[in-house]
Chain A
């Protein structure tokens, strides 16, 4: 059964870089069948799409975050990662990683449990 697990620091200082990793198990990470994405949810608010990556490294980013976001993939470890630079309190959120089918990269059909990231000094 496919499982996605987010990991990374729960506390990041303002102006620093947020780094998270999603580890995929129980499924074929390197196949051409899926894309892999990051979504976040600020406290008490709705869902914001951050970006999506293909196993080959092709990426799609939310234009509102594009200047600060990098998503990368490490197929040897069945992982993909998120880097968000110059963070502020507005980046405080639960961060989710998720999977989409290759034929519909917006259909998030499997999710990680989420990880809370707080931006504070």
Chain B
């Protein structure tokens, strides 16, 4: 089963750039779309966007102007950059493959990183 491990800075000042990276272990990046999802403290889930292993991206329109995602297939990892952060960007950020399906008789589960709390404060 694929495992995701994510890392990046946890404390930012307003106007700085949030950068997170997610490593994919026990499986390949190829053939899937990989998402970033965030959750403000005490609130619900918000999809930030996704990237295919080919590099094709699909962003949430509400964040599109500030978001860049990239993929490094040689390292089996993908990354998120979010520019010009404000306090409203304070959240737990998850990398994920938030889909599940049957491949023949084998169930392929969703995979999530452990989550990173990113706090934006002056």
Q: A and B: real partners?
A: no
